[in-house]
Amino acid sequence: MTDVASALEYLHHDHGLNHVVHCDVKPGNILLDDDMVAHVADFGIARLLGEGDSMTQTMTLSTIGDVYSFGIVLMETFTRRKPTDEMFVGEMNLKQWIANSLLPDAAIVEVVDADLFGTEEDGDFVSRTDCLSSIMRLALACCAELPKERINMQEAPVTLNKVNSLAARRHKLYRMVRSVHFNQIQGKPEHPT
């Protein structure tokens, strides 16, 4: 998802004097190559917006729509649920379901795809839970009800990179602790050379 966030950031902010608004960000328009790198596709209804005062409001509103859609894509990707899922009736919707899972007495494990967690006995479970909670918070920030409260696309890849970096550090620490523990059980030195 970092690839998608970076692509949208580039289109919205780093495309010279013009800005590209995709206008149709959804899972079906994200393709994976052989190396599992995500690419944003289908620019059929994309808009090229130029610089200038007359375009500022249009650009802001359009890019905010892409941000909202990116947040929904994050939710769909990590929960394996669509906003139109039959479980969402009445006041309950995908955003509310995820927001409820982030409350202090709730559990993100009940919302996010179980295949992403492993088992609670796995020492990396807490790290994965924290990372996935951070990603869901980002998704909700992208989908804030009021457009002016949504983050901009420049913040999304930064946040995802921080989550990835934190997950990598925690995983490395977990492997080191596990290795030391295994070596202690085996009677080997704690710091293998």
Question: How many helices and strands (H and E) does the chain possess?
Answer: 5, 4
As a residue count, the chain comes to 193
- Write the DSSP assignment of 91-148 as a string of letters: T--HHHHHHHHTSTTS-GGGTS-GGGT--TTSTTHHHHHHHHHHHHHHHHHHT-SSGG
Annotated catalytic, 42? no
Q: φ, ψ for residue 176 (rounded to 5)?
A: -65, -45
Rg (CA), the chain: 20
Residue 38 neighbours by CB under 8 Å, 6+ apart: 1, 3, 4, 7, 30, 31, 32
CA 101 to chain CA centroid, Å, is 16
- CB atoms under 10 Å from CB of 113, counted, come to 13
Catalytic residue among 24, 42, 85, 130: 24
Residue 151 amino acid letter: I
Residue 63 amino acid letter: T
| Catalytic machinery residues | 24
